[in-house]
Structures are given as C-alpha cells and as structure tokens.
Structure 1
Amino acid sequence: MTLFILIALVAALVTFGLSLIVLKLSHRYRLYPKIRDRDVHTRPTPRLGGIAMFIGILAAFGFAYLISAQFAPLKLVFSNPQQILAILGAALLIVLIGVADDIWDLDWMTKLAGQFIAAGLIAWQGGVQIYSLPIGGLSVGSGWMSIFISVFAIVLVMNMINFIDGLDGLVAGVALIANGVFFLYSYLLVRETSPTNYFNLASLIAAILVGACVGFLPVNWHPAKMFMGDAGALLVGLLMATSAIAITGQVDPGAINRSQLFPAFIPILLPVAILIIPLLDFGLAVFRRVRAGKSPFSADRKHLHHRLLDMGHSHLHAVLIFYGWTAAASIGCLLYFVLPVYFQLSNWYATIFLVLSLLICTVVTLAPLSRRKAIEAASQLTPERAATKPIARLDPLDEASEIVEETT
C-alpha cells in the first residue's frame, strides 16, 4: 500500500507543477478558445490541463518502472512491456486528439475514429481484454468478440467521462472518488486471491489516476483557473476503462470462500456503479439527440450538470451532488465485498447503506424543486390576500390636512 501511495504522490506532484506551467504558457500565448453558448464559465479559460495530467501519469509509470527493480512483486506488472507501451501509446494518441479538439474544435467523426484506434491499440496490441467474466470463468466468446467488447467498453467510458465535463472540478473529483474506491477494491481483492503479490496492473493504473486528479484539482476547483479539456477527460476515461478491464482477467472472485454468490459480480457492478452518473448522462444525451434527428455527439446545454444549475443549485452545490452520487454508489458496492470478507457481516448492512445514501442524494438533488413550489404557492396566495384585504380609509381630518399641504 505504501508503494502505491508513493507512486500516486509522484503523479500528483508532477501534475500540479506542470499544471502551473501550462497555465502560465496558455495565458502568455492565448491558448484558449472562445466561450461557447453551452459553457458555464464567463471568461476565456485554458483547456490544456490534460497535457499536465498525461505527463504526470507518464512520470508515475516511469517511477514505478525504475523502482520495480528493487521490488520483485511490482516487477511482475512490467513483465509484459508491450502491454504498458500499448497503454501509454494509446494515452498519448488520445491526448493529442483531445488537444487538437480543444484548440481547433475537431468534428465528432474524427474524434470517434481516434478513440477507436486508441482503444484498439490497448485491446489488440496490449492484450487488455475481457477474456472472461469473473463469474466462474464464464467465457465471452471468440478472440475477436473479446476485442470488440473491450474496444466498445473503452470508447463508451471515454465518452461518458467526457460528457460530464462541464463544471469546475467535476470530472477530476468524480474520477478521484471513483478510482479511489476501485483501487481499494482491486487491492483488497488481490490480497484475498494472491496473498504473496499485492501488485497488479488495475491497482497501479487506479492509484496513478488518483494522484493525477489530486494534482490537477487545485487549479480546476471553482472558480477554475484551467480545464482538463477533452484531452484530460478522454485520458481519464481511457485509463479508467483499462483498469476495470484489467481486473477481470487477473482474478476470480468466485474462488474466494464466501457463501454468497453476489460478491462475484462486484468486478462487473463496481465499474458501472462508479460511473453511474456519467452513464446516465451519456444515455440521456444520446437518446435526446437521436430523437431530435441530430448526431449523438453534437453538443448541447441539456446535460445533467446543466439541469442541476437550472433547478436552482449553485455551481459548487451541483458539483458536490455529483460527488455524493458517485460516492454513494461506489462505496455501497464496495461494502458488498468488504463487509462479508473482513467483518463477517451480512450484505444487508451494505444494502441499508446504499439505499439510505441514495435516498439522501435524491432529497438533496430535488430540494430546489420543493423550494420553488413553496415560493410559487406563496406568490399565488399574495394577490388573493391583497384582494380580500379591506382598503384602509383615511380620517376626514387627515384628508383635509393633506389637501392644505398640497395647496401650500
């Protein structure tokens, strides 16, 4: 665990330092686009934070490789250098596409083609594929089907993360919470299945992503000085999907001696749970645009974060609500694994936590609607009260005094 924290710290420090440099250069050379109609911010803001995040991630991978010579368990992660190079090569490609889009605003077909190439590089050259589902080793089909499903999953997650990137600190915070929970799950799961080797590719990627998000969040917090842009959002989605796919091919939760079958589904449910809000936003956006006869990747101002602002939430409250939903869903699913294994408690406790936390998030999310209805009801009652209230009449002496004052 200490080694993972050290690697994450390297990613955080490098990302933060380079974020300040990129910010200064962006303002010096005016490397920022004009404000669009769908944007929430009111002043031009650089969007090249993804460059700093990528270099921070690259530095963390390099640091991990250097110290792997002294730590044999970590060396196993780098036993397949082609896999690591494929992941970093795909990350570089997606960052270049994102930077080009942030500066020149590429068309959606070009961006989508680049996403498929990057995902194919990871699945085909890197071998990071969904070979089997972690439910008794259930096969997903032929080799080509495995590649197809893996590529589709990576592209889907990239776009899900990119779709919610609309508020200060939103993606960085959501990814920080999601990857933090996923890191704990992958780390604890590997400890159960392989007590002599805690190191695996999924945990390493998750830890590095946590560090990169921690390093970038200070310059991205409201009011944001810089955005991660498409380069950063697509990069985060790419690595999150890669981490989730990697864990399915390395461990089998069914091998753990537990009486319940449900925990075996955690490797499938947890990646969905930590991305529940991006998944919902992505699905609604695609349905909305296709129904209107538009491209599913055409931009609009009807995402969930826009709707929260329109409901009456402040910028900060909308971001915190996203954090809350992400934490509730991801931690709730994690408890289904942790409570039976480490505390010998029933999964009912996890269910109670999940239901209560989601209920609290729902109440907080819908609170402005209740306030709005109360205000509307009060405004409707006011004219009625004014109409029924008797008109006060002045005393004749007062009327006379007023007339005298007017004439003088």
Structure 2
Amino acid sequence: MLWFLLVCFVPAFVISTTMTIVIRRCAPQWGLVDHPAARKVHVTPTPLGGGLAIYLGMLLPLIAAQLIVLLIQQNALPASWIPEEFRIHLAGMLHRSPQLWGLLAAGTVLVLMGLLDDRFGLSWKWRLGVQFFVAISLVSTGMSASLFVSQPWVGQVVSVLWIVALINSLNFLDNMDGLSAGIGLIASVMFASIMLTLVGEPRWLVGGCLVILAGSLSGFLIHNWPPANIFMGDAGSTFIGLMLSSLTILGTFYDETMPQRHVMLAPLCILAIPLYDLCSVILIRLKEGRSPFQPDKKHFSHRLEALGLSKKHAVMTVHFATLTTGIGALLLYQVEDWQGAFLVVSLVLCVLVIVSILEMAPRPSSKEE
C-alpha cells in the first residue's frame, strides 16, 4: 500500500510544484493576471493559471502509468516492475481506462474554458452551458450512480446535477488564498481513504486517481498558501470539482459485504461545507435580486474575516470544518445501522448550524474592535 501511495503522490506533487513555478513566471506574458477589485480580497496583482499546473500534475502521471501498463501487457517491459498483488488488477485497469480518459478529456474542456475565462471573461450562462454539456456527456457514457433506484434516469439526472454542483461549489470556494485547493486536498484524501481501506475490495484505479489529485493539489498549495503568489483561476477550481464529483461516481461506496446502505451518504458528509456554501451564497444573491453567479463577499470565509479573523485563520477554519464533516463520513463505515448513521449525520448538521450562526453574526463595529 505504501508503495502504491508514493508512486501516485510523489510524481504528481513534483510536476505540479515545478509547473506552478513555470506558469507563475509566464502568466503575465499570457495576460493571466488577477487585478484587485472591490469584490476581491487580494490587494496586489497576482498571476493566474495555476489550475493548468494542477491539471498537468494529474494528467502526466496517468499518461505514464497507462504507457507502463500497456508495455507490460505487451511484454515490452518486465512484469516485475509492478508488485505481484497489483498485477491481477492490470487487465481491469485497462478495461476501465477509456472511461478514465473520457473524464480527462472532459477535464481538458473545462481547463481550456477556465483559461479563456481567466483571460477574457466569459458569460456565466455560456460557462454553465458547457458544464452541463460536459456532465451530460460523461453520464451518457455510463458514468452514473444507481442510487438503488430501478429507474436508471433518476440516477442519471442526479449524477448530472452532482457534477455541475461540485464544479461550481469548488469554483465558488476559490475566493481566498489556499481555500479551494485545501478543500480539494482534504476531500481527495478522505475519498481515497474510503476507496483504498474501508470498502470490501479496494478500488485501486479510482483510489489511485484520488491520490494523484491529492499530490497535484499539494504541489500547487505550496505556492497558493497565504499569502499566495499565484491563483488557480477557474481552470483549476472547475477541474477539481469535476474530478471529485466524477471520481465519487466511478468509485463504489457500498458493496454486498457491508451491512447497510447508509455509507452512500459519505460523499455528502465530506463535501457538506462546500455544498452548503454554494447553496447559501446562491440563495442570498437570488434574495437580493442578483445573478447567482455574480461575485461578492457573502461566502463563509468572507464572513469569518468580517468577524475579525485573518485571511489565513479564516481559511484554516473552513478547512477544519470540512475535515470534521469528512471524519463523520469515515465514521459511517464504523456504524452498522441507520441509528448510528443518524448520529453521524446529526454531527454533520450541527457543524453546518455552527457555520450558519457564524455567517449570521453581526460584524463588529470599530468601537468593539
């Protein structure tokens, strides 16, 4: 297991770290610079395009892995390159690789759209349309959750909405240094832990992709941690959302060896904070008669800063809130009935209530400060 984790994590980390440095230097020449504005928290022009480094940090290791597996299957490389316990899974990995490359092709579309949006600014309607097109295309290839419902279209509709929601959720969270990348890292580690250790049979392909994503995000986060010297931009946040949403669909959180189906709630627990932030911000904007995609400072992180926390502490608070609900997801695999699952879900809801209270708390006046 340790060998597998290192092989997945380290190359992605190195590629992402290196490419972030390169892109940071080239971004001004490409016109990828985020300038300060009323609805933004940074005060100096900052390079964009870090999402391209995250994308390459995931793409290049997967290309290398695919080539190695193909060469081993064709006896062009010795099978001893792969530990014996993994060799029996090579055929299965090759069988599912078209689905994986379809996902990466969809990710490429979002990265390119994100770079165009970062450079020129695109209409939110056009971006949302492309997101739905990508989601529907993936679901039409068979990437759909069953949800234990006899009618396949129910799972397909939910899968499309899940993908689009996660794409926008991670995009909305990209409002402070290190926030979206950190949430993506926590979520990918949590999902990988479930895929590799808590299900009946380890899901090596999906789990490996999640570890690669974690490595790529870690490499970028070194440069994006407050105070950031580069932003991921829409190219990065939408790509992360697509990967997390699609890999959770490809992965199976339940199998016949498990006593109950409540473990299907795990993704909702892990991503409770991002999804809550998405829903609350959209409702606030609609209530105020504004577009749900019009940027503002209504996010949970902005409210924490308004209460007096530094940007770094606000980001860390959101991170640990996400980590708390993620641990709840892991606990779902330790309880055997719906009564235990209810307690775990209650814990997650309590965290969301705390978040809601903090959001509604009045901003301290200058005298109180």
Aligned partner of 1:212 in structure 2 is 216
Q: Quick one: which amino acid aligns to residue 128 of structure 1?
A: M
Q: Quick one: which amino acid aligns to residue 34 of structure 1?
A: H
Report if aligned partners of 1:332, 1:351 keep a CA contact under 8 Å in 2: no
Q: Quick one: which amino acid aligns to residue 314 of structure 1?
A: S
- Give the superposition deviation at 1:199: 3.8
Aligned partner of 1:119 in structure 2 is 135
- The answer on 1:279 being equivalent to 2:280 is no
Q: In 2, distance between residues paired with 1:85 and 1:19?
A: 23
Q: Deviations over 1:272-330 (max 9, x none)?
A: 11211111111112111222222221222211111111111111110110111011001
Aligned residue for 2:220, secondary structure, equals helix
The counterpart of 2:254, out of the listed 252, 255, 261, is 252
Q: Specify whether residues 354 and 51 from structure 1 end up closer, same or farther in structure 2 by C-alpha distance, changes over 3 A only.
A: same
Q: Specify whether residues 67 and 124 from structure 1 end up closer, same or farther in structure 2 by C-alpha distance, changes over 3 A only.
A: same
Aligned partner of 2:228 in structure 1 is 224
Q: In 2, distance between residues paired with 1:122 and 1:111?
A: 17
Q: Deviations over 1:371-403 (max 9, x none)?
A: 959x74xx9xxxxxxxxxxxxxxxxxxxxxxxx
- Give the superposition deviation at 1:107: 0.7
Q: Quick one: which amino acid aligns to residue 311 of structure 2?
A: H
- Give the superposition deviation at 1:175: 1.1
Report if aligned partners of 1:325, 1:361 keep a CA contact under 8 Å in 2: no
Q: Specify whether residues 189 and 219 from structure 1 end up closer, same or farther in structure 2 by C-alpha distance, changes over 3 A only.
A: same
Q: Specify whether residues 105 and 371 from structure 1 end up closer, same or farther in structure 2 by C-alpha distance, changes over 3 A only.
A: closer
- The answer on 1:83 being equivalent to 2:95 is no
Q: In 1, distance between residues paired with 2:67 and 2:230?
A: 31
Aligned residue for 1:9, secondary structure, equals helix
Q: Quick one: which amino acid aligns to residue 284 of structure 1?
A: S
Q: Specify whether residues 217 and 108 from structure 1 end up closer, same or farther in structure 2 by C-alpha distance, changes over 3 A only.
A: same
Q: Deviations over 1:20-65 (max 9, x none)?
A: 0000111455531332211100011112001111111101211322
- Give the superposition deviation at 1:200: 3.8
Aligned residue for 2:285, secondary structure, equals helix
Report if aligned partners of 1:8, 1:60 keep a CA contact under 8 Å in 2: no
1:124-273 equivalent positions in 2, closer than 5 A: 124-125=140-141, 127-130=142-145, 132-133=146-147, 138-139=148-149, 141-142=151-152, 144-190=153-199, 192=200, 194=201, 198-248=202-252, 252-253=254-255, 255-256=256-257, 258=259, 261=260, 264-267=261-264, 269-273=265-269
Query: Unaligned 5+ residue runs, structure 1?
Result: 341-345, 380-408
- The answer on 1:311 being equivalent to 2:307 is yes
Q: Higher relative contact order by CA 8 Å / sep ≥ 6: 1 or 2?
A: 2
Aligned partner of 1:53 in structure 2 is 54
Q: Specify whether residues 26 and 113 from structure 1 end up closer, same or farther in structure 2 by C-alpha distance, changes over 3 A only.
A: same
- Give the superposition deviation at 1:351: 5.0
Report if aligned partners of 2:34, 2:45 keep a CA contact under 8 Å in 1: yes
- Between stretches 213-222 and 354-363, larger displacement belongs to 354-363
Q: Specify whether residues 152 and 370 from structure 1 end up closer, same or farther in structure 2 by C-alpha distance, changes over 3 A only.
A: closer
Give the structure with higher Rg (CA).
1
Aligned residue for 2:33, secondary structure, equals coil
Q: Specify whether residues 20 and 84 from structure 1 end up closer, same or farther in structure 2 by C-alpha distance, changes over 3 A only.
A: same
Q: Report the RMSD for the aligned CA atoms in angstroms.
A: 3.1
Aligned partner of 2:123 in structure 1 is 107
Aligned residue for 1:80, secondary structure, equals helix
Aligned partner of 1:96 in structure 2 is 112
Q: In 2, distance between residues paired with 1:12 and 1:18?
A: 10
Q: Quick one: which amino acid aligns to residue 285 of structure 1?
A: V
Query: Unaligned 5+ residue runs, structure 2?
Result: 73-78, 80-86
Aligned partner of 2:76 in structure 1 is none
Report if aligned partners of 2:135, 2:160 keep a CA contact under 8 Å in 1: yes
- Give the superposition deviation at 1:4: 3.4
Report if aligned partners of 1:324, 1:361 keep a CA contact under 8 Å in 2: no
Q: Specify whether residues 74 and 212 from structure 1 end up closer, same or farther in structure 2 by C-alpha distance, changes over 3 A only.
A: farther
Q: In 1, distance between residues paired with 2:144 and 2:345?
A: 33
Q: Deviations over 1:214-257 (max 9, x none)?
A: 11100101110101111100000000001111124xx633x225
TM-score, length-scaled by structure 1:
0.78
Q: Quick one: which amino acid aligns to residue 139 of structure 1?
A: V
Aligned partner of 1:392 in structure 2 is none
- Give the superposition deviation at 1:13: 1.0
Report if aligned partners of 1:35, 1:44 keep a CA contact under 8 Å in 2: yes
Q: Deviations over 1:68-123 (max 9, x none)?
A: 33434144123133212210110000001111111111110110111112212221
Q: In 1, distance between residues paired with 2:162 and 2:352?
A: 30
Aligned residue for 1:40, secondary structure, equals coil
Report if aligned partners of 2:191, 2:210 keep a CA contact under 8 Å in 1: yes
Q: In 1, distance between residues paired with 2:272 and 2:352?
A: 16
Aligned residue for 2:226, secondary structure, equals coil
Q: Specify whether residues 356 and 5 from structure 1 end up closer, same or farther in structure 2 by C-alpha distance, changes over 3 A only.
A: same
Aligned residue for 1:225, secondary structure, equals coil
Q: In 1, distance between residues paired with 2:68 and 2:294?
A: 45
Aligned residue for 2:89, secondary structure, equals helix
- Between stretches 73-82 and 295-304, larger displacement belongs to 73-82
Q: Quick one: which amino acid aligns to residue 118 of structure 2?
A: D
